Structure 1
Amino acid sequence: VAVTNINRQLMATVKTIGQVKVEVLKERLLEINPNAEVVSMQVVYSPETAGSFKLESYDFIIDAIDSLSNKVHLIRLASQMPGVFFSSMGAALKIDPSCIRVDEFWKVKGCP
C-alpha cells in the first residue's frame, strides 16, 4: 500500500502503508463480510499470467490495473465471463468523490 492509495482505495490508511495490498484488502473485505470467500493473488495480471487466474469461476472480477495493455487484456476476457465485472479508471490523485461515475464500459468516453 502506498501513500498515494489513501485517497481512492478502501483498505489504504496510514497504518497500512508499506503492507502487501492484496492481503490488506482481503483482511478489510473479511472485516466487512466474514463469510465472503476472497481469492487474493499477489500476481501482476498480464497476457502471460492470465492462465493463473480462473476468471470463469469468480462471481466478481475487479480490475484496478494501471498498465493500459494489461487492463485492456483483462477487460476483453472478463467481459466474456459469467461473473460481474468492475473496472476502475482514472482515479489516481483524485480527491472529489462526487466526480465518480458508474456506467457500462462501452459507454466510457475517456479517463478523466
Structure 2
Amino acid sequence: MEKKIPARLSRLSLLLKEEGLTRLAQSRVMVLGLGGVGSACAEALARGGVGYLILFDGDIIEESNINRQALAFSSTVGKAKTDVMRAMVKEINPECQVDAQQIFLTKENIKETLKSFPRPDYVIDCIDTISQKLEVAAFCQSEKIPLLSSMGAANKLDPAYLKFSKIENTSYCPMSKIIRLECRRRDIKGLEVLYSNEQPFKVQDPDGNTKAQTLGSMSYMPPIMGMMLAGKVIRRLAGIEDYKIW
C-alpha cells in the first residue's frame, strides 16, 4: 500500500518521489548561525522535508535585522533567534525534530559543542566570523562530516555572481581570500563554499570602522544564499546530486 504523502509535501513528491522524501525525512542537518543566510536556509530545509534540524545562534533579533532575516519582524524584535526559528520550523513542518540552541559558538567551544549533539548528515556554516568558520571547517574535516560554508554577502548587489566552489578557486571575495590563506596554513583542503565573485560595492564612509558603518546588505542577497545552500544540501541528501566528503 502506497504511503500517503502529506499535502504540504505533495509538490515536492512530484520531483523527489517517495524515496527522496524518505531520505530527507531521515536526514539530520546542522545550521550554524541564523542571520540573513542561516534563517533562510533553515526555513528552506524545513519546507524541503528535512526531518531533523540542529540550529545554533546566540543572538536576539534586532530591528536592523528586518531588512534581510526570515525570522525578523516588528513582532519578534528582542526575541531569541533560536526561539523564533524553532517556532517557524514547527509551523512549517510539525514532524520536523528541532534542536535549537541559543549558544555563541567560539573557536574555543566549537569542537566540544558540536560533538555533544547527534552526528549530522550535513553541516551548513552561516556564521560571519572568520575564526569560527575556520574551526568549523577543521572540525568537519577531521570528523569527515560534509560541510558547506557561506562566504560574505555584505556589499554585494547581484546574485547572478553567486557560485559554489572549492575555497582554493575563489576570487573577488574579501572573506574568501582570508579563509583561503588560513586554510592553506592549517592544511584544510577542499572546503566547499558559496561565494560571490562580484566586486564589492564601496560604502562611502571614510570614518566608518564597524560592521554597521561599513557592511551594507541588500534584502535579497543573504536569503538567496541561504536558499542556495539549502537547495544544494536537499538535492544531495535526496540522492539527486552526487557529492564527495572532503
TM-score strictly above 0.5: yes
User: CA offsets, 1:7-50, max 9 Å, x none?
Assistant: 33221122111100111112112222211122211111123212
Aligned residue type for 2:129: S
Indicate conservation of the 8 Å contact 1:11/1:25, yes or no: yes
Matched pairs, number? 111
Indicate conservation of the 8 Å contact 2:128/2:152, yes or no: no
Cα distance in 2 between the residues matched to 1:82 and 1:33: 29
Q: Partner of 1:53 in structure 2?
A: 114
Higher mean Cα deviation, 14-23 or 66-75? 66-75
Q: Partner of 1:67 in structure 2?
A: 129
Cα distance in 1 between the residues matched to 2:148 and 2:91: 21
RMSD (Å), alpha carbons = 2.8
- Greater Rg over alpha carbons, structure: 2
**Structure with the higher fraction of residues in helix conformation:** 2
Structure 1 segments of 4+ aligned residues over 4 angstroms from their partners: 79-84
Structure 1: segments with no counterpart, 5+ residues: none
Higher mean Cα deviation, 35-44 or 47-56? 47-56
Q: Partner of 2:150 in structure 1?
A: 88
Q: CA deviation at 1:104?
A: 3.3
State TM-score, norm by structure 1. Answer: 0.73
Cα distance in 2 between the residues matched to 1:46 and 1:86: 19
Indicate which of 28, 40, 60 corresponds to 2:100. Answer: 40
Indicate conservation of the 8 Å contact 1:56/1:82, yes or no: no
**Closer/same/farther in 2, CA of residues 84 and 14 from structure 1, 3 Å limit:** farther
State TM-score, norm by structure 2. Answer: 0.38
User: CA offsets, 1:37-94, max 9 Å, x none?
Assistant: 2221111112321202236612342322222111221123235556553433323576
Structure 1 SS opposite 2:100: coil
Aligned residue type for 1:74: V
Cα distance in 1 between the residues matched to 2:113 and 2:150: 22
Percent of matched pairs sharing the same residue:
30
Aligned residue type for 2:104: V
Cα distance in 1 between the residues matched to 2:165 and 2:85: 25
